[in-house]
Amino acid sequence: MRGYVRPGNSQPAWLFPFVVIIVLILSVLPLARLAMTGIVSLAHGGVGAVLSDPALWQATYYTLVTAILGTLISLAIGCAFAFLLTLTDISSKGALSFLFVLPMMIPPQVTALAWVQMSGPSSPLLKALHIAPPLGSPQPLYSVGGISLLYGVQHAPLVYLALRAGLMALPRDGVEAARLSGAGSLRVFRDIILPLSLPGIIAGAAISFVSCTGNFGIPAILGIPASIYTLPTLIFTKFSAFTSRTFGDVAVLSVLIAMIAAAGLAIQERALRGRDYRVLGLSGATAAFELGHWKFLLQPLLWVCIFFMLVAPFFALLAGALVPAYGVPLTFKTMSVSAFYEILFRQAVTRTAFVNSLSLAAGTALCLLLVTVLTAYALTRRKDLLGRIVSSLIEIPYSLPGIVMAVCFILVFAAPLPILHVTLYGTIWIILIAYLSSFFAVSLKPVVSAFHQLDPALEEAARLSGAGFFRRLADIIVPLIAPAAGASVILVFLIACNELTISALLWSAGTQTLGVAIYNLDDSGSSDLASALSVLVVLMVVFMMLLMELMAKRLPRGVVPWRN
């Protein structure tokens, strides 16, 4: 009986097993290896000690609170931008959305420091306004609120990108029907647009939440001075005082983080369950709202956001690159471009780091796109427990701090692979695999939510045309979810470009990445060089985005997120 399939199933028989194997390699293997090590190291007792440590529960509490608050803030900012820039007639949309994606390229530590300086006693902004607090007054950002705020700012572009794709699939006539029913713009927004874009919003919230639980940079800078420890910073301190129990402690902490992430995922599942978001009939015409005089309020507001999220930190970076040392005031006399000169023409490491990071980021984004489309396809057509387990397994690596994932991968790959007898450790490939594992969730989210909105008839028509699985994937499904796929690629690319901890632990001579290079420069006191390199990275990303802009005409509609 060749060629027959189980009834009611549009996926080839191999697809789900294939997804399971991918997840086994990328998630289960490294996590299980850490769990094993953890169990061994705790074999002589000590679980009790870890679990009864009040610091642990304190950290869990702070992780939860900051992650939830941070998610809410990033949802607020990201949704506002997504809705305004996708659905309304606000002007300079292109520029705004172009700029809104960029903050992801500024390392969180830089943003955090820039904000600390902006809001602290030496803030040029506050000084100019004569409201600078006196020297020595407590820094308001060193608090749960500060951490959450920065989480929000850092992750808002994630929400924006995840949501935008869904908004583009909103059927115009559904909105029109609601308006004709007498619903004003706000009402239509609440009753029709919001519920219909729920898959996108929830996807964005989930990415943001999971990012928050795994973030190290922001709580390290803003939390530690106020003794606010989150689970990632706590894990870091465990590593800094290494004992025989450390792996056990880290495993326990990781399980906690994983549980928080899985709980988030469960909430997400619940919120989406039993609903139907398939856009019936023809999509292709997108909804549009006229803002009227609200424009005059909202437009400047968006620019203010951009200022705080992008311009201010970027100028902090730029200023740092132009002065020879910290604390030297930036004047025409002190200003020098020698840092740029040094980075561009003297440091050999710069070029390798650029090449490594770009190829790693591009490789990760593209590999993940492929895997993601297949996985999302398999998962949205499968509603059973196994499917849910697989999706949580995909989620966990991204929710863990980079240092944990890096350790997992060292544990798995430091020894030569069995049978093949090759050692991946120390090559660029292990970083690639670790990236694939870590960013799988980021890449998956927008694509899954796009699949939720797809009218199945469109695929059915292709099947009846005789298109086999890969054929219709390439011709119909991928172009239909193009905005989501584009968002996914860009998200992963930007995050991977900037990645630090994983590559820091997995790198070796010749495979250092931009994140590592910047960190090392900064760590060794050459903050001017570090800033210069950061500025160059941002400029490079801008340049590449402009290149995409040029290519945009040949790409399916909606792929490039700053074009309408």
Q: Which of residues 355-384 bind another protein (CB under 8 A)?
A: none
Hey, what are 441's tokens?
A: 């969730």
Compare residues 138 and 300 and give the one whose CB is closer to another protein. 138
Within the chain, what is the greatest distance between any pair of CA atoms? 82
d(CA 109, CA 118): 14
Instruction: Out of 458, 540, 544, 552, point to the residue binding another protein (CB under 8 A).
Output: 458
Q: Determine the interface stretch with another protein among 258-266, 298-306, 380-388, 407-415 (rule: CB under 8 A).
A: 407-415
Q: What is the per-residue DSSP string for 362-395? A: HHHHHHHHHHHHHHHHHHHT--SHHHHHHHHHHH
Q: 314-336 burial, b for 16+ CB within 10 Å, e for fewer?
A: bebbebbbbbeeeeeeeeeeeee
Q: Is residue 402 a contact partner of residue 216, using CB atoms and an 8 Å limit? A: yes
Q: Determine the interface stretch with another protein among 170-178, 294-302, 353-361, 427-435 (rule: CB under 8 A).
A: 170-178
Determine, following the binding rule CB under 8 A, whether residue 300 of this chain makes contact with another protein.
Answer: no
Q: Determine the interface stretch with another protein among 81-89, 90-98, 100-108, 224-232 (rule: CB under 8 A).
A: 224-232
Compare residues 86 and 392 and give the one whose CB is closer to another protein. 86
Nearest to 489 by CA among 371, 357, 379: 371
Determine, following the binding rule CB under 8 A, whether residue 281 of this chain makes contact with another protein.
Answer: yes
Instruction: Out of 72, 226, 542, 548, point to the residue binding another protein (CB under 8 A).
Output: 226
Number of residues that bind another protein (CB under 8 A): 127
Q: What is the per-residue DSSP string for 107-138? A: -HHHHHHHHHHHHSTT-HHHHHTT-PPPTTPP
Instruction: Out of 46, 94, 225, 387, point to the residue binding another protein (CB under 8 A).
Output: 225
| Closest distance to another protein from the beta carbon of 539 (Å) | 23
Q: Count CB neighbours of 46 within 10 A.
A: 16
Q: Count CB neighbours of 116 within 10 A.
A: 21
Instruction: Out of 269, 342, 455, 549, point to the residue binding another protein (CB under 8 A).
Output: 455
Determine, following the binding rule CB under 8 A, whether residue 426 of this chain makes contact with another protein.
Answer: yes
d(CA 317, CA 310): 11
Q: Count CB neighbours of 201 within 10 A.
A: 23
Site string for another protein, 121-160 (x = CB under 8 A): xx------------xxxxx--x------------------
Q: Count CB neighbours of 416 within 10 A.
A: 12
Bridge partners (DSSP) of residue 159 are: none
The footprint of another protein on residues 37-56 (CB under 8 A) is 37, 55
Compare residues 183 and 552 and give the one whose CB is closer to another protein. 183
Determine, following the binding rule CB under 8 A, whether residue 7 of this chain makes contact with another protein.
Answer: yes
The footprint of another protein on residues 62-101 (CB under 8 A) is none
The footprint of another protein on residues 97-126 (CB under 8 A) is 113, 116-117, 120-122
Nearest to 112 by CA among 316, 318, 329, 328: 316
Determine, following the binding rule CB under 8 A, whether residue 236 of this chain makes contact with another protein.
Answer: yes
d(CA 313, CA 308): 7
Q: Determine the interface stretch with another protein among 84-92, 93-101, 179-187, 363-371 (rule: CB under 8 A).
A: 179-187
For the packed helices 198-214 and 54-87, what is the interaxial angle rounded to 10 degrees? 140
Compare residues 464 and 550 and give the one whose CB is closer to another protein. 464
The footprint of another protein on residues 485-524 (CB under 8 A) is 501, 504-505, 507-509, 520-524
| Closest distance to another protein from the beta carbon of 542 (Å) | 26
